Amino acid sequence: MEVLYTNLEFWHWLTFAVVLIILEMLSPGVFFLWLGIAAACVGIVLYIHPELNWQYQLILFAVLSVASIATWRLTRPFFPPEEPEVLNLNRRADQYIGRIFTLSEPIVNGMGKIKVDDSTWRVRGEEAPVNTQVKVIGVDGIIFDVEPMYTHDT
C-alpha cells in the first residue's frame, strides 16, 4: 500500500480531479467540484515541485479542500441563486403578476375571465364589465386575483 503513496505523480492528482468533477456533474450540489479543484491544485503544485513528499501532498489536498469549500460557503450569499425568470419556470402564472389585461367575460359574483395570448384564465376580483382593463395582483393556483384599472373622472 505504501508503494501507491510513494509513487503519486501530478497526473494521478489531475485524474482524481477529473473524476471528482464528473461525480459533481452526476450528483450536483455535493462538494465534489471543490474537492476536484483542490486535487487539480495539488497536481499543479506537484508538477512544479515533483519532489514533494506524499504526506505533504495529502495535507495540501486536505487544506485546499477545506479552504475551497469554506470560500464557496462564505461567498455564496453574494451571488443570487438564479435569475427571476428561472425561478418562475414551473410557475407559469406568476410571470403575469403586475401585467394588465382586458376582461373577455365580466366579473360577476367575484369571478370572470381574461384572455392571455392563446389561453383563457379565470380571474377573481370586484365586479367589472367586459372590456375593463384589470391588473393581476396575485395568483391562487390557476386563478388570477385582479383589480380593475378604472379611470376616475370627477
Domain(s) labelled CATH 2.40.50.140 in the chain stretch across 92-148
How far apart (Å, rounded) are the C-alpha atoms in residues 69 and 13?
18
How far apart (Å, rounded) are the C-alpha atoms in residues 139 and 92?
10
pLDDT of residue 154: 44
Task: Give CATH for domain 92-148.
Answer: 2.40.50.140
pTM above 0.75, yes or no: no
What residues have CB less than 8 Å from 154, skipping those under 6 apart?
Answer: none
Dump pLDDT digits (tens) for 22-37.
Answer: 988 888 777 888 899 9
pLDDT of residue 4: 52
Mean per-residue pLDDT for 115-143?
Answer: 91
pLDDT of residue 88: 55
The two beta strands, 143-148 and 119-124, are parallel
Distances, alpha carbon 7 to alpha carbons 2, 94, 153, in Å: 9, 58, 87
More confident residue, 93 or 17: 17
pLDDT averaged over the chain?
Answer: 85
Query: Residue 18 above 80 pLDDT?
Result: yes
**C-alpha cell of 8?**
503519486
pLDDT of residue 31: 80
Dump pLDDT digits (tens) for 70-95.
Answer: 988 887 776 665 555 555 556 677 88
pLDDT of residue 107: 94
More confident residue, 153 or 41: 41
Dump pLDDT digits (tens) for 35-58.
Answer: 999 999 999 999 999 898 889 999
What residues have CB less than 8 Å from 121, skipping those under 6 apart?
Answer: 93, 96, 113, 114, 115, 142, 143, 144
Q: Report the half-sphere exposure of 132 (CA within 13 A, side-chain side).
A: 22
More confident residue, 105 or 154: 105
**C-alpha cell of 133?**
382593463
pLDDT of residue 6: 65
